[in-house]
Structure 1
Amino acid sequence: MGTALPTSAAAAREHVDALLRTQFLSSPEEVRDDIVWADALLVTSELVTNACRHGGGLTGFSAEIQGDELLLSVADGSAELPVARSHAPGQYTVGGYGWPLIKRLTKSLSVVPTPAGKRIQAVVSLV
């Protein structure tokens, strides 16, 4: 899927951060919205963490900039679709917030079955 597989969510974030710095900013002095930048890194981290924790391991990863969007593709070894756990109003539990967060922070999101599991494709707006 393009680049070498990150060994952790932190490594994936570092890759995306470097990509944003080199291919999205027009100059080293340019400043972009920190919240948007953080959202892109958070989506990256959540997708890779979910692949490792729930998907049987990361089997593919790519990130690229197209215009004002970050395109992420994260593959794992499980055919099971991501599920958002439901929480009763006022019930706060540990875990189960990643997928709803990813859905909220992405412009588009799709899950594509593959022969070896699935690939999640996410588009994060950078503006």
Structure 2
Amino acid sequence: MTDDNTAQPEASRLGTDEGLPTTAADARTRVQEQITSKFGDVNAKEVDAQVLGAALLVTSELVTNAIRHGGGLNAFDMLVTGDALFLSVADASTRLPVSVDPADRDRGRVGGFGWPLICGLARHVAITPQPHGKQITILIPLT
């Protein structure tokens, strides 16, 4: 509640004060814990397994990309509200994520599927340049 007694949506938040995840698996675990603590068991009416799977897949892709291509994970912050997951991941690279041209895949290039997957599963994606890298923030509806 605020001073004017206006109800605010409940939210669960985990920020960089909790320490950065060291792997994508660690990040997924943190996101799953926050979502299930907010909504209860997966397959509950509010959040089903498919929605949770999308949130975990996007988390994994963002953290993996930061570690593999971004010079390391600099920040990891999430907010679980009554109906959405907001996730921000920052890395040390100023290079923007790219999608691989299908012709490159035909020539045997491996990878390049993560960014289109993130953009397809998230309702909103924002890239914010930072002095020593970038921050990617996504919104995934949970209900």
* The two structures share one fold, judged by TM-score above 0.5: yes
Residue among 35, 56, 59 paired with 2:50: 35
Give the residue type in structure 1 aligned to 2:93.
S
Residue among 115, 118, 121 paired with 2:131: 115
Task: State the Cα distance separating 1:63 from its structure 2 match.
Answer: 1.2
Equivalence for 1:64: 79
Distance 2:41 2:98 in 1: 40
Task: State the Cα distance separating 1:67 from its structure 2 match.
Answer: 2.3
Distance 2:64 2:50 in 1: 20
Give the residue type in structure 2 aligned to 1:64.
L
| Local SS of the residue matching 2:102 | coil
Unaligned runs of 5+ in 2: 1-14
Distance 1:52 1:115 in 2: 18
TM-score normalised over the length of structure 2: 0.80
Give the residue type in structure 1 aligned to 2:113.
Y
Counterparts in 2 of 1:4 and 1:41: CA distance versus 1, 3 Å: same
Equivalence for 2:69: 54
Counterparts in 2 of 1:67 and 1:54: CA distance versus 1, 3 Å: same
Equivalence for 1:45: 60
Distance 1:93 1:67 in 2: 41
Unaligned runs of 5+ in 1: none
Residue by residue over 1:43-95, the C-alpha shift from the partner in whole angstroms, topping out at 9 and shown as x without a partner, is 0000000000000000000111122110000000001111111113x937531
Aligned residues: 125
Q: Report whether the alignment pairs 1:14 with 2:29.
A: yes
Distance 2:56 2:98 in 1: 21
Equivalence for 1:124: 140
Distance 2:109 2:139 in 1: 28
Structure 1 moving runs of 4+ over 2 Å? 27-30, 90-94
Distance 1:97 1:29 in 2: 27
Residue among 87, 95, 98 paired with 2:114: 98
Distance 2:42 2:124 in 1: 30
